[in-house]
Amino acid sequence: MIERLPEESPGEATVVTELLPSGWLRVCVPLPYSLRFVNSYLVPEPEGDWTVIDPGLNTEEARALWLAELDKLGIRQGALRRVLLTHQHPDHYGLAGWFQQQFACPVWMTEKAHRYAKRMWGAGSRFPLELGDWFGRHGMPAELLEQLEPHLQSFRERVEPQPEVSYLTAGSRLELGGENWSLIDAPGHAGGALCFYSESSRTMVVGDQVLLRITPNISLVPGPEEDANPLHSYLTSLQDLSGYVTERVYPGHRAPFTDLARRAREITGHHERRLEHLLGLLRQREAATAFELCELEFGSHLRRNIHNLRFAMSETLAHLAYLENEGKAEQGDEGGFVRFRAVTAGDPERGGE
């Protein structure tokens, strides 16, 4: 049951199901974005039923793929034990409610992740407006802010119907595929995210926490429950995950891999270089908004793609928050915008010692 993988044939739009060494099935569910697909996992249970991990974004193409793949396997209502979610981002969470309706199965995620899902995509959500106000204060031009709210609102149909949810808890354990798994808190990329680890098979399901060849987005966004320093939380998580011995690592995007600690070190080095570059940009100018720094870091071409610009802007703010926490940058309100400056050691007016 192995078909050619998307990363091995980038010009193809073939439905892909891969039999993994663990006996799990990796289903590459299509996405209408540059990532192209999300990894979902079908886990055979000893009793003959199945568990789905991260079913994907709710699109017509994704639903058709799942119905075809499940039909091939003879999986019908009653044969799905549950849906497990590593986190609440739409490309992982979006089909959870559809699966629940189609197969009468429970959906499990952390309570914190569920709160985030309701805040972002629930009825009456003000998150699109709050994010627009936040980006506006940080210098994003009005013509781009006009695109932001409808862009974010468009995700609601990609996560409907939303499921009734049961809660997983970090630090607890879970029986999955005949093995006992530890549930590990995985902050930084998404609030309330989890990784699953089996010591017996040295396997970890990492969601988007650690990916090959690309780095997960680390976003700073407004809100009383939001992490004020998500990059610090993320780098600490990478250090913690590096302590687990792995032979199989199952990510939310790109190919599975083996050496989690090595990839965690590579991603840590990437962010260290990004921080140094951003600090260099600040030192070259008197002050700058996060949007100005975002364009210097990622390029003005992102103005043509509000989806990618949103991630770049939020990640720039996350790196600035890290530098502030380290005492290397500071912010102040000037002319109605938040502007950032480098802190120079020995300058009492700029916070140095």
**How many domains does the chain divide into?**
1
pLDDT over 70 percentage in the chain: 93
Cα-atom radius of gyration of the chain, to the nearest Å?
Answer: 21
Q: What is the CATH number of the domain that holds 58?
A: 3.60.15.10
Range of the domain at 256: 6-124+155-268
- pLDDT band of residue 76 (cuts 50, 70, 90) is confident
Beta strand 203-207 pairing with 337-342: unpaired
Asked if the structure places residue 36 within a domain, the reply is yes
Asked if the structure places residue 278 within a domain, the reply is no
Asked if the structure places residue 23 within a domain, the reply is yes
Asked if the structure places residue 196 within a domain, the reply is yes
Asked if the structure places residue 215 within a domain, the reply is yes
**For residue 6, pLDDT beyond 80:** no
- pLDDT band of residue 35 (cuts 50, 70, 90) is confident
- pLDDT band of residue 151 (cuts 50, 70, 90) is very high
- pLDDT band of residue 347 (cuts 50, 70, 90) is low
Average pLDDT for 65-73:
94
Asked if the structure places residue 40 within a domain, the reply is yes
Asked if the structure places residue 342 within a domain, the reply is no
Kindly report, residue by residue over 95-150, the tens digit of the pLDDT.
Answer: 999 999 999 999 999 999 999 999 999 888 999 999 999 999 999 999 999 999 99
- Determine the straight-line distance between the first and last CA of the chain, rounded to whole angstroms: 63
Q: Is the C-alpha dihedral spanning 171, 177, 180, 181 positive or negative?
A: negative
Kindly report, residue by residue over 156-179, the tens digit of the pLDDT.
Answer: 999 999 999 999 999 999 999 999
**For residue 181, pLDDT beyond 60:** yes
Asked if the structure places residue 68 within a domain, the reply is yes
